[in-house]
């Protein structure tokens, strides 16, 4: 009897820890280079805002540029995730003028529906036309 009780206690102490271990984290996906280019042309009204959606198919680079604003004006350019309830939920934005290089760049860390938002920063005196280019994977 003296030996049975210590043996049971020793066995019960080792059982809970024998099946437990830290979970192994899944491998981090390697981002791919952006290869899909989408272009959005539209008219921005005074005090207006326009949203355009695009689908990212895999984790990878994301570049957004406003290539043309006619007549020339500074606008707000934003990128975000698309929500059926809230519209475009902005992740990153800036005030910019048209240019040839990406004004916003980064990595889409999940596939899904994203959006680019173009809006008046309060300086438009007339509607402007614009072209936004989004390059993604």
- pLDDT at position 17 over 60: no
- pLDDT at position 51 over 70: yes
pLDDT value at residue 57? 94
36-136, what's its fold? Jelly Rolls (2.60.120)
- pLDDT at position 107 over 60: yes
pLDDT tens-digit profile of 30-40?
A: 778 899 999 99
pLDDT value at residue 23? 78
Average pLDDT over residues 57-62: 94
Whether this model's pTM surpasses 0.85: no
Other beta carbons within 10 Å of 62: 24
Average pLDDT over residues 1-24: 52
- pLDDT at position 2 over 90: no
DSSP string of 55-97, one letter each residue:
EE-SSEEEEEEEEEEES---EEEEEEEEETTTEEEEEEEEEE-
- The 3-state DSSP class for residue 49 equals strand
Residues 103, 131 contacting (CB under 8 angstroms): no
């Amino acid at each position: 009897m003296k030996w049975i009780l210590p043996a049971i206690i020793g066995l019960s102490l080792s059982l809970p820890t024998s099946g437990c271990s830290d979970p192994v984290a899944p491998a981090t996906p390697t981002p791919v280079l952006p290869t899909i280019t989408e272009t959005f042309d539209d008219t921005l009204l005074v005090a207006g805002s326009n949203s355009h959606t695009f689908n990212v198919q895999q984790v990878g680079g994301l570049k957004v540029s406003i290539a043309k604003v006619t007549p020339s004006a500074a606008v707000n350019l934003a990128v975000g995730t698309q929500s059926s309830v809230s519209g475009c939920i902005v992740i990153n934005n800036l005030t910019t003028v048209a240019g040839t290089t990406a004004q916003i760049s980064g990595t889409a860390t999940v596939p899904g529906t994203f959006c680019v938002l173009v809006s008046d920063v309060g300086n438009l005196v007339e509607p402007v036309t614009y072209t936004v280019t989004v390059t993604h994977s």
